[in-house]
Amino acid sequence: MNRRLSDHLIRATCRDLLTGKGQVSGRHLRRELRERFGYAGRTARVFAIWREETDAQSRPPVANVPEDTSDLQRRLAAAEAQAAEHLARAERAEYREMAHQDHWALEIDRLREQLREQPVLAAQVRALQSEVLKLTAELQAARS
């Protein structure tokens, strides 16, 4: 049978004892666990959780919540405005990126078309070169 207590059960029991009696020792916590659940848990693990919970209880709250609702509303409006600004900025960046991608896609397409036309152009250049050679030969013949 698995007799392991979950961290949640140990923490909940520790918090109950701390709110009810204030200061509680680790041994008292283990005694309470044994009474409630029939098992005290491993000493090192229970004491580690007990230290975390007692340290958390002795520390002051991290964030001081202002009591004035107008201050909270002002901060909320500022946060919403900042979020809207960030969203607009992201949309502009997305638009610029799409325009950039479209520009280079068209440029690549144009270059591909030029490459496809090169065999035709090469044939035209060869035809023109042969025409120039033929005309040069005729001119040479006419001069002589």
Three-state secondary structure string covering the chain: CCCCCCHHHHHHHHHHHHHHHCCCCHHHHHHHHHHHHCCCCCHHHHHHHHHHHHHHHHCCCCCCCCCCHHHHHHHHHHHHHHHHHHHHHHHHHHHHHHHHHHHHHHHHHHHHHHHHHHHHHHHHHHHHHHHHHHHHHHHHHHHC
Q: Can you give the pLDDT at residue 139? A: 94
Distance of alpha carbon 55 from alpha carbon 65, whole angstroms: 21
- The pLDDT tens digits for 81-108 are 999 999 999 999 999 999 999 999 999 9
- The pLDDT tens digits for 4-39 are 788 888 888 888 888 887 778 888 888 888 898 888
Distance of alpha carbon 25 from alpha carbon 115, whole angstroms: 83
Q: Can you give the pLDDT at residue 133? A: 95
Whether this prediction's pTM lies above 0.85 is answered by no
- The pLDDT tens digits for 43-92 are 888 889 888 888 877 776 656 656 778 888 889 999 999 999 999 999 99
Q: Can you give the pLDDT at residue 68? A: 79
Q: Which residue has the higher pLDDT, 115 or 127?
A: 127
Q: Can you give the pLDDT at residue 1? A: 44
